[in-house]
Chain A
Amino acid sequence: MIEVENLRVTFTGRHRVEAVRGVSFTIGEGECVAIVGESGSGKSVTARSLVGLAGPHAHVEAGTFTVDGRDVRGFAARDWRRLRGRFAGLILQDALVSLDPLRTVGAEIGEVLQTHGIGDRRDRPQRIQRLLTDVHVPEPERRVRQYPHQLSGGLRQRALIASAIAGGPRLLIADEPTTALDATVQAQILTLLAERRATGETLLLISHDLAVVSKLADRVLVMKDGRIVESGDTRTILVGAAHPYTKELVEAASGRRRGTTAEPGGVVAEATALRKVYGDRTVVRDFDLTIRRGEIVGLVGESGSGKTTVAQLLFGLTEPTSGRVRFEGADFSGVPERARRPIRRRLQLIAQDPLSAFDPRWTVRRIVGEALPRGGNPEPVLERVGLGADVLDRYPRQLSGGQRQRVAVARAIAPRPSLIICDEPVSALDVSVQAQVLDLLAQIREDDGTALLFISHDLGVIRDLADRVLVMHDGRVVEQGPVKAVFDHAGHEYTRALLDAVPTLEVSR
């Protein structure tokens, strides 16, 4: 169905970028192929090239490039247009921005039918509703008139899929189709994609997450720096990866427990009966937590569960409506900021996006220096997080994502805090870098006895790092206990749903 040999895509804008450097693969009718790689690996560009959408300044060349039996080298714009939507449908990451936010769902789906002259004006409304029914959108007659922002993340993504399959394409290209979604919704969308495949559609999946695609794909192509470093049956790749990069990915996806043997020490922070109300909405209720020295406590929940508010309450950024926070034996809530200041340095924060967490006008030297006692040397701290003196005089912008998060860790550990609140510290990172940062955090706990409150939507990360876990849902803790107990014998149905939804590598080794 698709045959590509030695595909090269070069962007000739202000800077010349070789995004894809000689990639060869085939996709057969009815197959499900996955391209896995990190950001900048060229996986999306490769996929988009298949429908002629590599980008405005892209220069595409290939030894062989046939789509549906036709040589597409030298295709004119209108030849490509005939392929798009009709032969191949494209599903992008987040439907909130991938569907036109100013148009109704019905108009977006109808546009495909209209462009390719499918049906006539009268029967199109029915066709649109049938498409929505096919992707299991309830009450399709109501949904067609709604705008993307009025739908939940899952429904939106389904609507996007409906618009991609509206032209009856034989090939579906899904570029990170579940990345922006919560775990439970992610599982549902994967099921839907599996269903499409069962109806005979060929599937090309693009993902950074090996675990997500492993359930669906027959074959996996692993891309790095514009090249395919390894390819083969999903099973073979998972069990017998040869390339070190693939091994890294497999390990990151299957998880590695970073436990400790040390016993927790005295109480560091304590929250009792926390409650936070905004207007008429209660975001957090009945929240109790005790964190001891040397402990890593995981806090899990989906977006809107109240976990970020908990972080703000513990950190003293907002005052609880009722309940109280104590830190190192002193009151931390209900007191003026002046009273908190002397012990502020003992409580640190690592945020999801390190770039916005640094003053853009400051160099690394000054950023880390701020956290040290006056005149302290930042180099030893940077060395602990695996960074050399060469980054000292760089601005945050000039660092890679992984380096930035290391600087954030260095700044957090520099004042020797007793507790670090980590709010989704690895969610924005590529999987291989994720593993390194998690190793680093585990090491710091081991060496310094620092307690960590680790907030994440990602159960896999929590399982690998935390000792205890609290599961939050709708502002309250629905389950808590030692990680192993919660993961093996979840009591609450919400926890079970979360656990079921986690994509794991299921391979009999």
Chain B
Amino acid sequence: MITAIARRVASGAIVLWAAATAAYLALLAAPGDIVDAIIGDGADTPQIRSQIIAEWNLDRPAIVQYLDYLLRAAQGDLGRSYLLQRPVRDVIGEQILPTLKLAVAAAVFGVVLALILAVTTRHRWVRRVSSTAELIIVSTPPFLIGIVLLSVFSFRFGLFPVSGDRGWAGLVLPAITLGLPIAGVLAQVLRDGLDRALDEPFAVTARARGLRERAVLVRHALRHALMPAVTLLGWLSGVLIGGVVIIEQVFGRPGLGQVTLQAVGNGDMPVVLAVVVFAAAAFVLINTAADLAYLLIDPRLRRS
């Protein structure tokens, strides 16, 4: 089991390294001079140019540039945005909280809703209605969901603020918008897993003991259904990270998504690269958690 965890950590480190390297290569591949790419739409003076050359070691051999970049990234130094005239770390640190709040709220909402849907809608008609609703949600662009929610609950009924990050009320609609597609996919996967598990011989054995159908479902089948759902944790992290970019835009919330979007628009490469590396780190973290969750759920995986 310890070797399994060690292997997991090692492969996480490799993913991080690959993401950092890919980001670096992307910088090299950008059209024009590397200094131009780093400046983006920011002020272009000889002084700033020399500052960039010094920071990125552009006057030294390529391998030194690369290794130094890795070393700085490993220490959490993500460079400096010459457009914003600030260290990237500060930019991210400042905007992370609203984004984190949104992501966590959406994840919790999505997972809880999916569990409720999968377990309670077992009977024919409810099930069909629920499956259809999930299909529609999953196939709808998230910004459309956000826009519809906004026009109904904020404009029509005035229940929630239209934009910004003002307390909990401002969090409700964005979290629902981001969480609904998660719930849609997870509910489908969970329901499918429950169906399979309830067809297994052990479910027959459990029923033959005199268990109620609900007990068979919750005590036996649910854990089996969770396995494929856990596989989706990595996917879930991608959805959250990718989703916040759009949701923050729709609801006019501050956060990392807005920072990223502006950086892409202005060609502020240091920020874009930092966000990519940062997202990779979040991804690795969540996937490691997923692997540990596997071990918790399935004792068969515990033997090394």
In the complex where A97-B200, A97-B201 touch, is A102 in contact with B223 (Cβ < 8 A)?
yes
| Nearest chain A residue, comparing its CB with the CB of B213 | A77
**Is A93's CB under 8 angstroms from B207's CB?**
no
**Is A85's CB under 8 angstroms from B208's CB?**
yes
Query: What are 21 pairs between A and B in contact, CB < 8 Å?
Result: A51-B208, A53-B204, A53-B208, A81-B211, A85-B210, A92-B201, A97-B201, A98-B204, A100-B206, A101-B202, A101-B298, A101-B300, A102-B223, A102-B299, A102-B300, A103-B220, A147-B300, A149-B299, A149-B300, A160-B205, A167-B210
C-alpha gap A82/B212 in the complex (Å): 10
**Is B211's CB under 8 angstroms from A111's CB?**
yes
In the complex where A97-B200, A97-B202, A98-B204 touch, is A82 in contact with B210 (Cβ < 8 A)?
yes
In the complex where A100-B220, A116-B210 touch, is A163 in contact with B299 (Cβ < 8 A)?
no
**Is B205's CB under 8 angstroms from A92's CB?**
yes
| Nearest chain B residue, comparing its CB with the CB of A82 | B210
Q: How large is the interface on A (under 10, 10 to 19, 20 to 34, 35 or more residues)?
A: 20 to 34
C-alpha gap A81/B211 in the complex (Å): 7
Shortest distance between the CB of B229 and any CB in chain A (Å): 14
In the complex where A94-B201, A97-B202, A147-B300 touch, is A102 in contact with B224 (Cβ < 8 A)?
yes
**Is A84's CB under 8 angstroms from B220's CB?**
no
**Is B213's CB under 8 angstroms from A86's CB?**
no
**Is B202's CB under 8 angstroms from A98's CB?**
yes
Shortest distance between the CB of A45 and any CB in chain B (Å): 12
Q: Considering residues B208, B297, B300, which has the most beta carbons from chain A within 10 angstroms of its beta carbon?
A: B208
B-side contacts of A99, CB under 8 Å: 202, 205
**A96-124 to B contact mask, C-beta < 8 Å, 1/0:** 01111111000000011001100000000
Binding site for B on A (CB under 8 A): 48, 51, 53, 77, 81-86, 88-90, 92-94, 97-103, 111-112, 115-116, 147, 149-150, 160, 163-164, 167
Shortest distance between the CB of A107 and any CB in chain B (Å): 9
Binding site for A on B (CB under 8 A): 200-202, 204-213, 215, 219-220, 223-224, 297-300, 303
A-side contacts of B209, CB under 8 Å: 84-85, 111-112, 115, 163, 167
| Nearest chain B residue, comparing its CB with the CB of A93 | B201
**Is A90's CB under 8 angstroms from B210's CB?**
no
Shortest distance between the CB of A456 and any CB in chain B (Å): 26
Q: Knowing that A81-B212, A102-B220, A102-B297 touch, tell me 4 more A-B residue pairs with CB under 8 angstroms.
A: A82-B210, A88-B208, A90-B204, A115-B215
Shortest distance between the CB of B299 and any CB in chain A (Å): 5
C-alpha gap A163/B208 in the complex (Å): 10
**Is A90's CB under 8 angstroms from B300's CB?**
no
Q: Considering residues A48, A77, A100, A163, which has the most beta carbons from chain B within 10 angstroms of its beta carbon?
A: A100
| Nearest chain B residue, comparing its CB with the CB of A116 | B210
C-alpha gap A243/B219 in the complex (Å): 47
Q: Considering residues B211, B212, B215, B303, which has the most beta carbons from chain A within 10 angstroms of its beta carbon?
A: B211
C-alpha gap A274/B205 in the complex (Å): 45
Shortest distance between the CB of A120 and any CB in chain B (Å): 18
B-side contacts of A85, CB under 8 Å: 208-210
Contact of B201 among A98, A147, A164 (CB under 8 A): A98
| Nearest chain B residue, comparing its CB with the CB of A48 | B204
B-side contacts of A88, CB under 8 Å: 208
**Is B207's CB under 8 angstroms from A84's CB?**
yes
C-alpha gap A2/B212 in the complex (Å): 24
| Nearest chain B residue, comparing its CB with the CB of A166 | B209
C-alpha gap A86/B202 in the complex (Å): 18
A-side contacts of B206, CB under 8 Å: 100, 111
What are the 7 tightest A-B residue pairs by CB atom distance, in nearest-first order? A90-B208, A85-B210, A84-B210, A85-B209, A98-B201, A100-B202, A147-B299
C-alpha gap A103/B203 in the complex (Å): 12
| Nearest chain A residue, comparing its CB with the CB of B221 | A100
B-side contacts of A84, CB under 8 Å: 207-210
| Nearest chain B residue, comparing its CB with the CB of A99 | B202
| Nearest chain A residue, comparing its CB with the CB of B297 | A102
B-side contacts of A150, CB under 8 Å: 303
Shortest distance between the CB of B96 and any CB in chain A (Å): 37
B-side contacts of A94, CB under 8 Å: 201
| Nearest chain A residue, comparing its CB with the CB of B227 | A102
Shortest distance between the CB of A342 and any CB in chain B (Å): 45
A-side contacts of B210, CB under 8 Å: 81-86, 112, 115-116, 167
